[in-house]
């Protein structure tokens, strides 16, 4: 069954600054072609999971002290984040991390630097097909785009890299509800039409579960509940504590 998984996180422990234990024996899996949601409140450790998967922890003084992460059957070592883009894993970080002084198109070009031998024009077309608004604004300075357009650009940068897995950290952050719905609709389409697997971190559980196939809920460094979306959304505790229903 392991062959059906694009990403596997097995029993990892992460410690920051040799003092703060952020993850405590956390395991999860992303099947090929699926959207998996990782939910939980502020500080639960969701972003830390994504940073561990994309080998970014050393930059923040974080250390995986236990466990193992596998991407497409191969171990992820914490020393070479740049090689992961080439292997097909792209991390859309929280807060959009685009180049504010560059144009939309320059931001997309920058995303291809880590790659080689790509048809750049064709790759841009993919982005503009999913995000027509970015096509209209291709010569605009990214820093002047609206919050929603900046999030679109952050996801567009991932698309240009033609990844097999996209890690998405809080794409709903700071956006109006209608825009969140629009962007999540597009994320779901990208998953379906491009076959890209996704690990989606969100505090907004209901919108995440509206597009995910499977969900994990975490608290203080561990998974507390997980299951297929239908099972989670019909669970009384999940409804009450995470979906704000009762």
Q: How far is the CB of 17 from ligand ATP (least distance, A)?
A: 5
End-to-end CA distance of the chain: 37
Residue 93 vs 102, nearer CB to ligand ATP? 93
Beta strands in 76-195 (DSSP E): 89-92, 165-169
Cross-sheet strand order for the sheet of 214-219: 89-92, 165-169, 197-202, 35-39, 214-219, 222-228
Residues near ligand ATP, by CB under 6 A = 16-17, 20, 22, 40, 42-48, 60-61, 203
In a 10 Å sphere around its CB, with 0-12 CB exposed, 13-18 middle and 19+ buried, how is residue 73 labelled?
exposed
Residue 13 vs 194, nearer CB to ligand ATP? 13
Residue 107 vs 171, nearer CB to ligand ATP? 171
Q: How far is the CB of 166 from ligand ATP (least distance, A)?
A: 17
Residue 161 vs 167, nearer CB to ligand ATP? 167
Of the candidates 215, 212, 172, 169, the residue with the CA atom closest to the CA atom of residue 192: 212
Evaluate whether 87 touches 128 at the Cβ level (below 8 Å).
no
Q: How far is the CB of 152 from ligand ATP (least distance, A)?
A: 21
Q: How far is the CB of 169 from ligand ATP (least distance, A)?
A: 7
């Amino acid at each position: 069954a392991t062959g059906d998984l694009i990403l596997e996180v097995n029993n990892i422990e992460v410690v920051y600054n040799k003092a703060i234990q952020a993850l405590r024996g956390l395991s999860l899996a992303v099947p090929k072609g699926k959207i998996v949601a990782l939910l939980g409140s502020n500080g639960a450790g969701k972003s830390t999971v994504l940073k561990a998967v994309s080998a970014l922890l050393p930059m923040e003084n974080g250390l995986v002290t236990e466990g193992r992460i596998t991407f497409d059957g191969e171990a992820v070592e914490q020393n070479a984040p740049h090689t992961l883009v080439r292997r097909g894993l792209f991390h859309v970080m929280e807060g959009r991390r685009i180049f504010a002084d560059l144009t939309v198109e320059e931001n997309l070009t920058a995303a291809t630097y880590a790659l080689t031998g790509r048809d750049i024009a064709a790759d841009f077309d993919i982005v503009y097909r999913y995000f027509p608004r970015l096509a209209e604004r291709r010569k605009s300075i990214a820093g002047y785009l609206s919050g929603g357009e900046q999030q679109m650009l952050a996801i567009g940068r991932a698309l240009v890299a033609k990844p097999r897995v996209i890690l998405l950290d809080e794409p709903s952050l700071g956006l109006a509800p209608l825009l969140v719905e629009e962007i999540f609709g597009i994320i779901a389409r990208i998953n379906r039409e491009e076959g890209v697997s996704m690990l989606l971190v969100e505090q907004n559980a209901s919108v995440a579960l509206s597009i995910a196939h499977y969900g994990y809920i975490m608290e203080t460094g561990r998974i507390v509940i997980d299951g297929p979306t239908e099972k989670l959304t019909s669970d009384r505790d999940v409804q009450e504590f995470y979906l704000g229903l009762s």
